[in-house]
């Protein structure tokens, strides 16, 4: 597979305002409080990958969550392409939620830039989202560790944002 440039230097050109704007455009982060968003902005990483780079290998331990800033990522399970993800889509959350091995491989399809969230930040900042995601993963996965489809994720996040907004309006959960 290809090589990773994982260039933090070039990504440092992305301003805090640009990072904030990008995060606010991703449905997963839209329900975060201003404080949570600030913490996330200060603790995210930005990695770049060349075409063909294996970002996540099926069966490996998971320590990061990824949100695609630019480019496309192919998700494969047992060598079979399942879906292609693009800007604003994310991957790597399942292993963090379930403390499990990676259920699929994710490969850069052309140059890719990802915002990355380490396990500790994911747990700290995204705890409410993690709980809802965990319920979803538990409900919709089976013993064979099937990978969820992109359409299910999109439906899920519309529901999560709605539930979290209802929680905020009623003063919490």
| Element of type H or E holding 55 | strand 54-56
For the CA atoms of the chain, what is the radius of gyration?
16
Instruction: Check pLDDT > 90 for residue 31.
Output: no
| Inside any domain, residue 102 | yes
- Tell me: the pLDDT tens digits for 82-108? 889 998 888 888 787 778 899 899 999
Residue 1: inside a domain: no
Domain encompassing residue 45: 8-169
Residue 77 lies in a domain: yes
Q: Is residue 127 part of a domain?
A: yes
Query: Strand, helix or coil at 145?
Result: coil
Residue 60 forms part of a structural domain: yes
Please tell me whether residue 164 adopts helix, strand or coil conformation: helix
Residue 168 confidence (pLDDT) above 90: no
Whether residue 2 lies inside any domain: the answer is no
pTM: 0.69
Most confident of the ranges 1-5, 70-74, 80-84, 95-99: 70-74
Structure tokens at 14: 């992305």
Q: Count the helix, strand and coil residues of the chain and give each as a percent rounded to the nearest 5.
A: 45, 25, 35
Structural domain includes residue 112: yes
Mean pLDDT of 12-37: 79
Q: What is the CATH number of the domain that holds 149?
A: 2.60.120.10
State how far the Cα of 161 lies from the Cα of 102, in Å rounded to an integer.
25
- Total structural domains in the chain? 1
Task: Please report which residue ranges of 60-116 form alpha helices under DSSP H.
Answer: 93-98
Query: Is residue 93 one of the residues assigned to a domain?
Result: yes
């Amino acid at each position: 597979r290809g090589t990773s440039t994982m260039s933090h230097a070039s990504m440092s050109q992305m301003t805090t305002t640009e990072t904030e704007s990008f995060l606010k455009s991703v449905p997963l982060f839209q329900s975060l409080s201003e404080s949570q968003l600030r913490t996330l902005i200060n603790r995210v990483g930005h990695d770049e990958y060349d075409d063909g780079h294996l970002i996540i290998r099926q069966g490996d331990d998971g320590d990061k969550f990824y949100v695609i800033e630019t480019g496309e990522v192919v998700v494969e399970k047992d060598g079979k392409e399942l879906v292609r993800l693009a800007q604003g889509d994310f991957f790597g959350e399942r292993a963090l939620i379930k403390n499990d091995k990676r259920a699929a491989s994710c490969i850069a399809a052309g140059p890719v830039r990802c915002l990355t969230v380490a396990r500790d930040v994911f747990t700290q900042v995204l705890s409410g989202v993690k709980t809802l995601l965990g319920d979803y993963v538990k409900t919709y996965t089976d013993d064979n560790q099937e990978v969820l489809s992109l359409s299910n994720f999109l439906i899920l996040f519309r529901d999560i944002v709605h539930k979290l907004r209802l929680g905020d309006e009623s003063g919490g959960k």
